[in-house]
Amino acid sequence: MQVLSRHWRKLALAVVLLVALLIPLFIDNQYLLGLIMLAYIWAIAAYGLNVLLGYTGQLTLAHAGFFGIGAYTVGILTVNYGFPFWPSLLLAVVFASVLGFLIGIFALRTQNEYFAIFTLGVGFVIFLVIERWESFTGGSLGLIGVPYPEGLGPIQFEGPEQLYYLILAFLVLTIYVAASIAHSLVGRSFIAIRNSPDLAMAAGINVGRTKQLAFTISTAIAGLSGGLYATYIGFLGPAIVNVPTTFEILLYLLVGGMGSLSGPLIGAFLVTTIFEYFQQFEAYRLVIFGPVVILLIIFFPRGLAGLWGELEARVRRSPEKEAEGREEPSREEVR
């Protein structure tokens, strides 16, 4: 049974990947393709948040700040200094993660609510710096004309189709990294800290250093998604760095499922699609999504992926085991 389900999982994964690869061949609509690319970019950002919030149980509210640092690193280097895209993207990831590491040293001294509020302050200060440092970041006018990536060997990035594959490749890479982390000893230490920091410490995990690692990985991924966003959108304004963006990424992760491997992708895809579908009711989006967030966190804190996992477990469980009662969902491992 277990083996069979693993095969099914692999098959499903292959089908999803195949569909993703074929999308540009079937979709002629540039607008739709752009929308899918945007969903991928937000999914990457949500994977970054997931490492810290979903696995390690630390709510950071500075995620949009690090996303913005990645985006503005690419934007400033390419637009103001004429740097090529690729080294700029690399620097975006490096810069976001180094800054994440340094801020993490201080941020992680705080705990629980204090950590959330500290990172909220960090996010807001990053936004203020980007908005007010006009000579460097373009201030509220923003940066215009972030270029497409230069060609890599035989591949030229001339249109959205090529950019689509680039972003898809980075998404697959991110998911691969997230999966490797989840199944490694490091990932298990993250989860141990989420379930109980005291227990994790007693089991010999260096809680401080492990959280620091999770924070750095999370900011590196945020920087990557920001860098990709810069080249995708071509224009950067400070609003994207502000705290509400963090809340939106949080929404994607929450809908998809915190602490799950498929959650960030499902959430980002679904929410972006729904947002776009109800575009003429743009103002109503958050009127509806506010209560959705509340209902999810009360009734399905593990989102759609968690719901699916529960259904699957119920189907697989034999009737006599049903009587033994359900296992604690929050203690379940990441699949």
**Residues near other proteins (CB under 8 A):** 53, 57-59, 106, 109-114, 116-118, 120-122, 124-125, 128, 132, 243, 247, 250-251, 254, 283-287, 289-294, 297-298, 301
User: Which residue number, 107 or 217, has a Cβ lying nearer to other proteins?
Assistant: 107
Task: Read off φ and ψ for residue 143, nearest 5 degrees.
Answer: -110, 130
Contact status, residue 157 vs residue 150, Cβ threshold 8 Å: yes
CA 296 remoteness from chain centre = 18
Nearer to other proteins, 61 or 220 (CB): 61
> Residue 254 or residue 266: which is nearer to other proteins going by CB?
254
Give whichever of 54 and 70 is closer to other proteins, judged by the CB atom. 54
- Closest approach of other proteins to the CB of residue 45, in Å: 16
**Cβ of residue 118: shortest distance to other proteins, in angstroms?**
5
Q: What is the closest distance, in whole angstroms, from the C-beta atom of residue 124 to other proteins in the complex?
A: 5
Q: How far is the CB of 98 from other proteins (least distance, A)?
A: 17
Nearer to other proteins, 58 or 216 (CB): 58
| Beta carbon nearer to other proteins, 9 or 132 | 132
C-alpha angle 243-249-305 in degrees, rounded to nearest 5: 150
CB 166 to other proteins: min, Å? 32
Nearer to other proteins, 96 or 250 (CB): 250
Sign of the dihedral defined by the CA atoms of residues 8, 9, 12, 17, in that order: negative
DSSP alpha helix (H) spans, the chain: 2-26, 30-49, 63-75, 81, 85-107, 112-132, 134-137, 160-183, 185-195, 197-202, 207-233, 243-256, 263-277, 285-299, 303-316, 319-322
Distance CA 145, CA 41 (A): 19
Q: How far is the CB of 291 from other proteins (least distance, A)?
A: 6
Cα separation, 244 vs 185, in Å, equals: 34
Which is closer to other proteins, CB of 12 or CB of 294? 294
**Mapping DSSP to helix (H, G, I), strand (E, B) and coil, where does residue 84 land?**
coil
Least distance to other proteins from the beta carbon of 7, Å? 35
Tokens representing residue 81 in the block: 């200094």
Query: At closest approach, how far in Å is the CB of 52 from other proteins?
Result: 11
241 Cβ neighbours under 8 A, 6+ residues apart: 64, 65, 67, 68, 71, 72, 126, 127, 130, 131
Q: What is the DSSP letter of 235?
A: E
